[in-house]
Amino acid sequence: MHLTIDREHYAALEARFFLLYADPSHSIDQWKDEVDRYGLLEACSAGRSYYLDAETLAEGAADIALKDLERVLAMNGVAIGNPTVEYDPLKDETILRVDGKCWPLCAHPSSSLDSWADFSRGFFSMVNGLLASVGSQERLYAFRPYANDQMGIFLTPPLFEALADIGLAARLERIDVPSF
């Protein structure tokens, strides 16, 4: 069940550039229809929400997930090059190599469900670290964190406040530091 968004809240989101990354082939009315059908956080046509399935991240697809975010990251000044997932046997750690820098994703998972959470924390903290390194105000928040239907949504502080005003911010988790 998702919340209904009224005109005032749509206007507040638009004024805070919620549609900055929107697919230009979609109209505002199409976006609003998608929000009405699926919910604001799931409305992918706005260009801010992405499916980042925790299980898929844990199974080694963090590089593919990062490429899915490339357009938004590039618009914020982040270059990712050709990211690769690698295992470091000396540290017993899985890393994501991004533009020459190694980002830890997971170390010593104790169970598959723990690894879902660890890989998600590693991935989200890496994306937020990349954004912070270029001075961007955008951060990637987890919606339904650590689940197989996990999503990520890019938000600035004013957009997070706008979501708080309509009761959605409590459903999001900002992850800046991995858990290991």
Percentage, residues of the chain above pLDDT 90:
36
123-175 pLDDT, tens digit each: 999 999 999 999 999 999 999 888 888 999 999 999 999 888 888 888 899 98
Residue ranges in the chain modelled with pLDDT below 70:
1-4, 108-113, 177-180
pLDDT of residue 180: 47
Cα–Cα distances in Å, from 133 out to 17, 33, 141?
22, 36, 17
- CA 140 to CA 161: how far, in whole Å? 15
SS3 labels along the chain: CCCCCCHHHHHHHHHCCCCCCCCCCCCHHHHHHHHHHHCCCCCHHHCCEEECCHHHHHHHHHHHHHHHCHHHHHHCCCCCCCCEEEEECCCCEEEEEECCEEEEEEECCCCHHHHHHHHHHHHHHHHHHHHHHCCCCCEEEEECCCCCCCEEEEECHHHHHHHHHCCCHHHEEECCCCCC
pLDDT of residue 34: 84
pLDDT of residue 112: 54
